[in-house]
Amino acid sequence: MKLKQHPKYDNFINWGKLISITGSAQIIIQALGFASGILIIRLLPVEEYAFYTLANTMLGTMTVLADGGITSGVMALGGKVWEDKEKIGVVLATGLDLRKKFAIVSLIVSMPILFYLLLHNGASWMVTLLIAIAVIPAFYAALSDSLLEIIPKLNQTILPLQKNQIEVGIGRLLLSGLTMFIFPWAFVAVIAAGIPRIWGNIGLRKIVYTMAAKEQQTDIEVRKEILNLVKRILPTSIYYCLSGQITIWLISVFGNTTSLAQLGALSRLSVMLSIFSAIIATLIIPRFAKLTANKHLLLKRFFQIMGLLIILLSIIVLIVYLLPTPILWLLGDAYKGLPFELLLSIISSCIGLLGGIVFNLYSSRGWAMSPIALILINLLAIIISASMLDLGSLRGVLYFNIALGLVALIQTVLFCTYNILLVKNE
Q: What's the number of domains the chain is made of?
A: 1
**Residue 342 belongs to a domain:** yes
**Residue 292 belongs to a domain:** yes
**Residue 7 belongs to a domain:** no
**Residue 6 belongs to a domain:** no
Mean pLDDT, consecutive 10-residue segments, the chain of 426 residues?
54 58 69 82 84 87 82 81 82 87 88 90 90 89 82 81 86 87 88 89 87 81 84 73 69 73 77 73 78 84 89 91 87 81 90 88 80 79 84 84 89 90 78
SS3 assignment, position 295: helix
State the amino acid at position 242 in one-letter form.
Answer: L
Whole-angstrom distance, CA of residue 397 vs CA of residue 50: 16
- Domain hosting 81: range is 12-422
Whole-angstrom distance, CA of residue 355 vs CA of residue 352: 5
Whole-angstrom distance, CA of residue 172 vs CA of residue 167: 9
Using the CB atoms, write b or e for 294-332: b if 16+ within 10 Å: eeeebeebbeebbeebeeebeebeeebeeebeebbebbe
Whole-angstrom distance, CA of residue 392 vs CA of residue 250: 7
**Residue 1 belongs to a domain:** no
**Residue 5 belongs to a domain:** no
Which is nearest to 91 in space by CA: 101, 81, 103, 102?
Answer: 81
**Residue 273 belongs to a domain:** yes
Identify the pLDDT of residue 19. Answer: 59
3-state secondary structure 260-291: HHHHHHHHHHHHHHHHHHHHHHHHHHHHHHHC
pLDDT digits (tens, 9 = 90+) for 147-186: 888 888 888 777 888 888 888 889 988 998 888 888 888 8
Identify the pLDDT of residue 188. Answer: 92
pTM of the model: 0.69
State the amino acid at position 273 in one-letter form.
Answer: L
**Residue 127 belongs to a domain:** yes
Using the CB atoms, write b or e for 377-389: b if 16+ within 10 Å: ebeebbeebbeeb
